[in-house]
Chain A
């Protein structure tokens, strides 16, 4: 696996260099872009940021500027998604329908990634979507991209308890109201159910949880961050009393600080969908004697966050958090939530990913992520 991701990267490196060289000589085969948008009918809509945007009535090609929207689009209408935002590692691709596995990776406007704009204009999408928290930064970014690219950008609020509205809004835009309604209903019922049950958890029963990110588990995000919404939502207490960071988040803490927090539960983040050793942080925390005196490690309550096809908890904070909520709720408070997790996961994958999980696949997915494993 190492070799594979390495060769992918080397090819990437090479491509960058070649692009640099070619950009000086200029491209020979220029394509004439047919200005079909002009002839089409358009309509005026108001997006979640309150912006009025003119969009075509018929939308068949959508590009998301960041991974959150990309996943939303894939689950809703994969046939209209024109590109990925990052290269998906092969273990994750197994859960993607074969016909979409080879969509190009065009990057996007997130973190410090940049997008290959000319390549994108060749595809000429009808619409860009920008999913995530709605704030001044995301609005001005949307405006800027719209101006630069000449393609309408709509801002969609994809906070955990707004996902139903996000699906309905997108369903209306794309003309797939039926499927959107189905997914929205699932999101709404999950959110309502969990929110109601979370209220029943008495204060003294609430578990104190540490979210371990970074390659040594010594980066974290506090309560109130968009990266830990799932934890806040299911009624866990985030031990990290550090300031909330916007954007990509992640705050360094020392192991001594984690020891003094002495969490009941540790959630380990995997190294993301681009590759990396499975369960690297999980393995290092459970094996490191320096962590061994922490309550969560002593009581074997360290859990690796499932990350297929995309992370269930964070990075990107996508619709997969809907199943992430059920997983974490059940993990922390099985007496309160009482979900049949296997059935729930099967149902979620079938609904959102058109993928019927085998029992073996479910076991693999949750191998390091269920009670009593370590």
Chain B
């Protein structure tokens, strides 16, 4: 038996996770299809902090600072955002099978991005459309739930139903856009986007996604105890002094902002938001106060590792969403067979 609440073993676990993440982070800089020797990578990275004589080629600098750096940071941000918003939604809906896409954020982003593509918008325009439609989809789900069951006893169920309806609607509109897209070039582009990937990420994309994700993480972290209490049920949470309506809105806003920002730079990447919170829960228990930071760290590290595979295995880029599903689905089954504590 182990204790989840306050324990030095738990802080050891977090410390170990952080160390693992740091190692993965620095190792990722050494990996790539373009040959840059490890000492060169370190020199180039250091040159940004202290001034050093240039002993490397311009190509090497581009590879390390313009290509690997944004991609690594993006993997951390996207993985962390998906995992922590997944954890937040699972606690909010007190359902361990909920993923960040539950309120239609991915469907909205997919429609937005493909709309941008058939209109031949530049890349940043596509990202902004994806982001805006992701927010719009969740807002619509929320509105539907407020109109059709805001005050009823099962308002969470109504919210999930609203999300399903809006997701289906945006999926249909996405299909419509795909149908109208030029099958010679735009359609493959949409397909690639929907499979997810970080190969096109630039430093400015990272900057675009950074603030929504970090601010939302901080927001969720600040109300971590309230969300924890919410996970035993809305009505009990009320009797324990939680302002349920306010907390629910904050969770939905934070989770939506961070997922939308992540999806708009990475395309649709499944399984991270479902799988990682489960692994985190097996490690530190269901208490959200710990679950959130652990999910964040594990999600970041996991996606970074998977992306390293995606960009290194072959000359061809392997779409990230395919890899996360290929790894995630069997792993999830494995977890189910291993789990002794059960979910109920």
Contact = CB atoms under 8 A, between A and B. Distances in A.
Interface of A: 2, 5-6, 9, 12-13, 16, 67, 86, 110-113, 213-216, 218-219, 240-243, 248, 250-257, 259-260, 262, 269, 271-277, 280, 284, 289-290, 292-294, 315-316
Nearest to A262: B59
Contacts of B211: none
A343 to B, nearest CB: 30
> Which residue, A240, A257, A293, has most C-beta atoms of chain B within 10 A?
A257
A107 B194 CA distance: 24
Given A272-B184, A290-B67, 13 more contacts: A13-B176, A67-B184, A113-B183, A215-B189, A218-B200, A254-B311, A256-B68, A257-B317, A259-B34, A275-B120, A290-B62, A290-B202, A316-B184
Nearest to B200: A216
B183 A243 contact: no
Contacts of B316: 242-243, 251-253
Contacts of B33: 254, 256-257, 260
B187 interface: yes
A113 B178 CA distance: 9
Given A16-B176, A214-B185, A252 B199 contact: yes
B319 A252 contact: yes
Given A289-B66, A293-B59, A315 B184 contact: yes
Contact of A253 (B118, B179, B317): B317
B1 interface: no
B3 interface: no
A285 to B, nearest CB: 12
Nearest to B173: A13
> Which residue, B62, B123, B197, B316, has most C-beta atoms of chain A within 10 A?
B316
B150 interface: no
> Which residue, B62, B182, B186, B197, has most C-beta atoms of chain A within 10 A?
B182
B192 A214 contact: yes
Nearest to B314: A242
Interface of B: 32-35, 57-59, 62-63, 66-68, 117-120, 122-123, 126, 176, 178-180, 182-189, 192, 197, 199-200, 202, 311, 314-317, 319
A174 to B, nearest CB: 26
B59 A252 contact: no
B183 A219 contact: no
Contacts of A9: 118-119, 180
A250 B195 CA distance: 14
29 contacts: A9-B180, A67-B184, A86-B184, A112-B183, A214-B192, A215-B117, A219-B189, A248-B184, A248-B188, A252-B319, A253-B316, A254-B317, A255-B200, A256-B34, A256-B63, A257-B34, A257-B315, A259-B34, A259-B63, A260-B32, A260-B33, A260-B34, A272-B182, A277-B120, A289-B62, A290-B67, A290-B202, A292-B58, A293-B59
B224 to A, nearest CB: 37
Contacts of A213: 185
Given A2-B120, A242-B316, A254 B67 contact: yes
Contact of B180 (A12, A269, A316): A12
Nearest to B183: A111
Nearest to A253: B317
A281 to B, nearest CB: 10
Nearest to A89: B182
Top 5 closest A-B pairs, CB basis?
Answer: A111-B183, A276-B120, A252-B317, A260-B34, A274-B182
Contacts of B187: 111-112, 248
A240 to B, nearest CB: 7
A280 B116 CA distance: 14
Given A248-B183, A256-B34, A293-B58, A218 B188 contact: no
A240 B314 CA distance: 11
Nearest to A316: B184
B229 to A, nearest CB: 45
A252 B123 CA distance: 16
A309 B65 CA distance: 41
A293 B36 CA distance: 15
A310 to B, nearest CB: 10
A278 to B, nearest CB: 10
B185 A293 contact: no
A179 B184 CA distance: 29
